[in-house]
A and B are shown apart, each in its own frame.
Chain A
Amino acid sequence: MNGHSPNSVSAARAGWLLIQRDLRLGMRRPGEWLQPLVFFFVVTTLFPLATDPQMSRLRDMAPGALWVAALLSSLLALEMLFREDGQDGTLEQLALSGLPLSWLLLSKSCVHWLLTGLPLVLAAPLVAMAFGAPYAAIPAILAALLLGSVALSLIGAVGAGLTLGLRRGGVLLALLVLPLAVPVLIFGAHATALAIALEPAAAPMYMLAAIVVLSATLAPLATAAAVRIGLE
């Protein structure tokens, strides 16, 4: 329980063990992280089908389509963040471990991002080019999505914690998280639009980075509070 017993591990070590465990679990269930990725592709395919597939029109639409699709598929993935661990009691063990719960949940968020956010980031250039984005825009699009998806994972974890174990959790999760994700969407789509227009996108990128820093600082605390409430 306390830090002096021989079996205790440091918080850093525990975070690392948790990351390894979650990664291993995720790798053994590829459906969990493949589904949001496939969903991302399907949603972005719908945009050209629903509108006029001229490259010049698609290029205007690319930032919006890319970011709305990324937001929706990260939302889809969020449902799985705490579900299994909430059901089988792992979260309770983490809360009782005596280690800072916010730190442990931050580790979980990291893995969640590695499994569901990173694939989206890597898939984004493909989609962007299908929407007619120039090659030169790809690094900036990657950077924007990298920052944005981290922020979405962190902010979304609060919502996932609040809806822990609720019936109708999925729709409610969307209602809770989407308004909070508005700034990420605005700055991300704006950075992408600037990149596609081959203009410097540093300003919205800095804002995205600021949001990442702020949410990495505060969101784990709120997530831990939410999870503790959910476990009672």
Chain B
Amino acid sequence: MSWAWLHRYASPPHFYRWAGRMIPWLSSLAAICGAAGLIGALGLAPPDYQQGEGYRIIFVHVPAAVLSTVAYAVMATAAGVGLIWRMNVAHAVAASCASIGAWFTALALVTGSLWGRPMWGTYWEWDPRLTSELVLLFLYLGYMGLRSAIDDTARADRASAVLALVGVINLPIIHYSVDWWNSLHQGHTLLKFGKASMPPSMLTPLLLMMLAFLLYFGAIVLTRARGAVLRRERQARWIGEIVGVTAP
């Protein structure tokens, strides 16, 4: 298998142009999916027979929760690629994933606790999923903290990449240990969506919202990574060509 394509995409000018072409597509598709999903979610989907209208927060909560882990997976993959092939572009992508991933995690936690208030009667329940989401937020904050503590970009890239990879090994262990921890303390789960079968009128908007979140995440990461590439390569010649200024 040839790795040439990887190196081609990893060249900063190529990535910069390619990302610039992708971003409008991703963001407009995200807007279309989001609009369709919201119409379906807030208008067309019927109220839940148990939870009434309150369940509609699922259309934000679940995509945010899914994206919080997807962002970590993308971040760790990019970090690994950056570490192995020493690609600056991959490091820029990994760094761009962290803050948006942290925001998705925070959003999942906030919507989860807002949802918990009417359904469980409390804003915070030491539910395994909520707890492992909280630990995930701490992992993101640690990653960002480590990056910001190191001034040298190359060192920050590689140190944070090691941390991201350590985190990716630990995440499943944390998830299952937290699962196990609470299932032993109390067998109390008022609602479990994992296995609940959903009618298509609810499932379709949910999937559309997930797609919208995913596309939005792609657009944001590429935008941020583009900015990061510009800053990293500020001495390079090709930037002068793009901006229209020729270096003296």
Contact = CB atoms under 8 A, between A and B. Distances in A.
Interface string A189-232: 01000000000000000010001001000100010011001101
A175 B102 CA distance: 15
Interface stretch (A118-126, A135-143, A176-184): A176-184
Contact of B139 (A158, A179, A186, A187): A179
Contacts of A168: 149
Interface stretch (B54-62, B159-167, B224-232): B159-167
A1 interface: no
A167 B165 contact: no
A180 B167 contact: yes
A166 interface: yes
Given A187-B177, A222-B166, A176 B146 contact: yes
A78 interface: no
Contact of A229 (B141, B158, B181): B158
Interface residues of A, number: 28
Given A179-B135, A186-B178, A229 B159 contact: yes
Interface stretch (B85-93, B168-176, B193-201): B168-176
Q: Which of under 10, 10 to 19, 20 to 34, or 35 or more describes the interface residues of B? A: 20 to 34
A187 B173 CA distance: 11
* Secondary structure call for the B interface: helix
Contact of A176 (B142, B165, B178): B142
A222 B169 CA distance: 11
Interface of A: 158, 162-163, 166-169, 172, 175-176, 178-180, 182-183, 186-187, 190, 207, 211, 214, 218, 222, 225-226, 229-230, 232
18 contacts: A162-B146, A163-B146, A166-B149, A168-B149, A172-B142, A179-B142, A179-B167, A179-B174, A180-B166, A180-B174, A182-B178, A183-B173, A183-B177, A186-B177, A190-B184, A207-B177, A222-B165, A222-B166
9 cross-chain pairs, A with B, having the tightest CB-CB distances, nearest first: A183-B177, A179-B138, A186-B181, A176-B142, A175-B142, A229-B158, A186-B177, A183-B173, A229-B159
Interface of B: 135, 138-139, 141-142, 145-146, 149-150, 154-155, 158-159, 162-163, 165-167, 169-170, 173-174, 177-178, 180-181, 184
